Structure 1
Amino acid sequence: MSHTSRRKFIRNGSLGTAGVLLSSGLLNNSLATSLNTSTAKPAILGGMPTFNPTDWVKWPVWLQGEDEQRFLDSVRSGVWSRNKIVTEFETTWAAMLGSKKCLTVVNGTNALITVMNRLDIGPGDEVITTPYTFIASIQAILANNAMPVFADIDPLTFQIDATKIERLITKRTKAILAVHILGLPADMDNIMRIAQKHNLLVIEDACQAHLAEYDHKKAGTIGKAGCFSFQNSKNLPIGEGGAIVSDDEKLIDQCYAAHNLGYGNATSTGSIAAESSMKAGKVRLTEYQAAIGLAQLKRLEAQTATRNSNAQYLTSMLKDIKGITPIKLNDKVTQGAWHLYAFRYNQEAFKGLARQSFIKALAAEGLPCSGGYKVMHTQEFMRDAFNSRVYKGFYTKDLLDFNKYRERSKCPENALLCNEAVWIPQNVLLGTKEEMEKIAAVIKNISNNADKIKH
């Protein structure tokens, strides 16, 4: 028997065994499908794709019958600027999180910018944060003319490593920006302990962490203030939008003025004769955006439960595949938002198959995925900020020497993760248990065929 014929015989034999087990009731449909998937020719080698793009929940979810009336009413009313519907959304979101107050703004980036501004973080200050985050976290620090200082990550949780924060504190340190990246909470016990010890502010970037919980407390409600994004890809999508939450009502009042040209919350939208209390911008949410947000809020808790269940199930299968290391939750995480499902990919365990080739093989199967973030501190937007007049007026030449900054900002664990991470978007986790089994089977099949795919 030829080598090719032997392989075909073995493959057909495996499928035949699955068929016998299925017909006898000893194997359920989903497991049979997974067995077939794990032995089929990978799509990148000419096989049939495992998934159709329409298999995944279309994001964002919009149910005409349930969602459109409130939105249409808001549009037809002609009252489009901030008014009662925005206030209703803010009240509802604050209550869902267990926070006293909420203020909406145009996006998560401006939520971060606004709250830092009102907490008097500015020129000459340093903010310690994670290097593994979306660029908006860092741009918000720079927008307030402060200096980002990077603490390396925990290689298991992908979150900021709290044990590496304290050594970075200087007389210029004003705050810690705790980012709950990928929708999974950071080590808030130790972050809060360090902040209290050194009299530092803690701001939570929860832009990806809607309804995530640390020790049964919602992400965004543990520090001085929390910031959220409602951009189209987020677990709570509005298209664009953001929010600040805090139990400090005075802070929220100050943020309200900052987002409304310096006018306080007693001033009606559109007023032209009121007294402004501060230099400020205008980043107000609209009524029809809030109507979309209220529609999305109705299903967020159920979607979050589904993501958590499927993430746990997928991890239970992936952890046994050599070369795949799923992200680990901090021991005190009681619920993840799972804006992204992430794992580390070890190229050597896949016979030298490059990560990008692995990602292409997954994509060929119809599974959306990416490699995630790139190293942050070497990017040119940082140099551009340091070259500005305001930075030169508040920081020493040594601190602004970009080559030195890049050297002292090196985070080896983050650099390694940026070369090994693989992300799967949150809407995939809204799929079925069978689809989670297929994902695991597809990855196993790529592992089995890694040498062929590489060549």
Structure 2
Amino acid sequence: MRDKLAINGGPKTVNKEFIWPIYDASDVNAVTEIVQSGKWGNPDCGDEVAKFEQEFADYCGSKYAITCVNGSVSLRLALIACGVKPGDEVIVPPYTFITTASSVIECNCVPIFVDIDPDTYNISPAAIEAAVTERTKAIIPVHFGGLACDMDAIMDIAKRHNFHVIEDAAHAHGAEYKGKKLGSIGDVGSFSFQSSKNLTSGEGGIVITNDDELYAMMRSLRNVGRIEGGQWYDHYNPGCNYRITQMQAVLLSQQLKRLEAQTQKRNDNGLYLNQLLSEIKGITPLSRDEAISLHCYHIYIVKYDSTAFGGLSRNDFAAMLAAEGVPSFKGYPHPLYKQPLFQNKNFMCYAIPEYVDFTQVHCPNAEQACSSDAVWILQHAMLGEKEDMEAFANAILKIQQAVS
């Protein structure tokens, strides 16, 4: 049976190529018009950036949106605007991309890693509560893979302990929690437009908020410390030039027109794939309850149990699945606190207390996800058809039958 596996030279189960990004002549024409106009920059030439910011704010149901060069900078803008000071603590999950935590370091603050829920891979509210101290000034919950965190619980903890909530929605464009777009629930929502994201212009980021003061500060920080109504050469805050271009803005405006339909398709395909995989022993999709009114499946994640696959390791299973033509990956090899940056405290900043020791951090759920359990299917695959979801399930069954 093993000789029938694609990894051993057998035929692939999935022969379709899933294309990303998706574009057509309208995207090309919009960018071409900006190029031909010669008005490429921001804010002095044209108004396409402001137009997209308003479109995205309206889409998310927020009052304000401020674009910037990437999702990493958007987190930094949010933290500074929320008033964190050197040495303050910011609670973050360990199962996410590094900038969720490294942005905290860049602000001379201490990232406090707390464990994830084993059923959702999102930050655990119980672990948050246990980690709060008098030094806690913010939390950055990550809607990992596009699955909404338990925002009711998180907002309740933040209100009781009086700290800010910055939603890291880099994976969560278009997704909803109880009918509200993710990113619009906390004090600030942060998004990325990097190449792999569900809404993309190659690079870029944005923050959204309903708070007038936070908006004014983030807008200033994005634009080298200038303030609205101030003079061009007057700089009031320690900002930098984090502005995007008119070309990125028009491309994002075009892509935004497709986002809702794409999100609905990913959601529907995710629900169907959940149904198919629920019948395969050893494969458990991550949990989603009724609060998840719309899931954008930037990553479709399953928990893998090797005992149902003849003891085959997660890494070998993931390699076999990818060879079968499923756009998939084993996920992160270790939690963030295991990165050399944190293990060696190579921070180049002055306010991290000596007692902070990331070698002593242990988040067992995150470590198990990294070492043996998690398998990802990538977002562009979730824009396929129902028969593609069936092919993904068949590829898993083919592997199981070959190794068991």
Specify the TM-score bucket, using the shorter chain as the normaliser.
Answer: over 0.9
Counterpart residue type for residue 192 of structure 2: S
The CA deviation at 1:250 is 2.1
The CA deviation at 1:385 is 4.5
The CA deviation at 1:240 is 0.3
Which aligned pairs between 1:100-111 and structure 2 lie closer than 5 A? 100-111=63-74
Distance 2:55 2:84 in 1: 29
Equivalent position to 2:135, from 172, 180, 201? 172
1:81 corresponding residue in structure 2: 41
Percent of pairs with identical residues: 40
1:276-305, CA deviations, whole angstroms, 9 ceiling, x for partnerless residues?
112221100100000110110111111001
> Secondary structure in 2 aligned to 1:165?
helix
Matched, 1:445 2:404: no
TM-score, normalization by structure 1: 0.85
Which stretch has the larger CA shift, 74-83 or 414-423?
74-83
- Larger radius of gyration between Structure 1 and Structure 2: 1
Which aligned pairs between 1:292-371 and structure 2 lie closer than 5 A? 292-371=251-330
1:43-97, CA deviations, whole angstroms, 9 ceiling, x for partnerless residues?
2233211223xx2331001212x22221111111111111400001000000001
Distance 1:170 1:325 in 2: 35
1:161 to 1:436, Cα distance in 2 relative to 1, 3 A = same
Which aligned pairs between 1:16-415 and structure 2 lie closer than 5 A? 41-52=4-15, 55-64=16-25, 66-82=26-42, 83-266=46-229, 271=232, 274-373=233-332, 374-383=334-343, 385=345, 388=348, 390-391=350-351, 395=353, 397-399=354-356, 402=357, 405-407=358-360, 409-415=361-367
TM-score, normalization by structure 2: 0.95
Contact between 1:314 and 1:436, CA under 8 Å: does it hold in 2?
yes
1:50 to 1:200, Cα distance in 2 relative to 1, 3 A = same
1:354-410, CA deviations, whole angstroms, 9 ceiling, x for partnerless residues?
112111211221112111122111211124546645135xx2x222xx3xx332x21
Equivalent position to 1:422, from 375, 383, 393? 375
> Secondary structure in 1 aligned to 2:337?
coil
Contact between 2:13 and 2:394, CA under 8 Å: does it hold in 1?
no
Give the number of equivalent residue pairs: 399
Contact between 2:14 and 2:395, CA under 8 Å: does it hold in 1?
no
> Secondary structure in 2 aligned to 1:398?
coil
Contact between 2:14 and 2:392, CA under 8 Å: does it hold in 1?
no
Distance 1:94 1:148 in 2: 29
Indicate the RMSD between aligned Cα atoms, in angstroms: 1.7
Contact between 1:142 and 1:385, CA under 8 Å: does it hold in 2?
no
The CA deviation at 1:411 is 0.5
Contact between 2:92 and 2:113, CA under 8 Å: does it hold in 1?
yes
> Secondary structure in 2 aligned to 1:244?
strand
Counterpart residue type for residue 17 of structure 2: W
The CA deviation at 1:40 is 10
1:414-441, CA deviations, whole angstroms, 9 ceiling, x for partnerless residues?
1011121000110101111011111101
Distance 2:313 2:86 in 1: 43
> Secondary structure in 2 aligned to 1:313?
helix
> Secondary structure in 2 aligned to 1:334?
coil
Counterpart residue type for residue 261 of structure 2: A
Distance 2:169 2:190 in 1: 5
Structure 1 gap ranges (5+): 1-6, 8-38
Which protein is richer in helix relative to its size? Answer: 1
Counterpart residue type for residue 437 of structure 1: E
Distance 1:84 1:334 in 2: 34
Which stretch has the larger CA shift, 190-199 or 358-367?
358-367
Counterpart residue type for residue 61 of structure 1: I
Counterpart residue type for residue 335 of structure 2: V
Structure 2 gap ranges (5+): none
The CA deviation at 1:186 is 0.3
Distance 1:219 1:433 in 2: 26
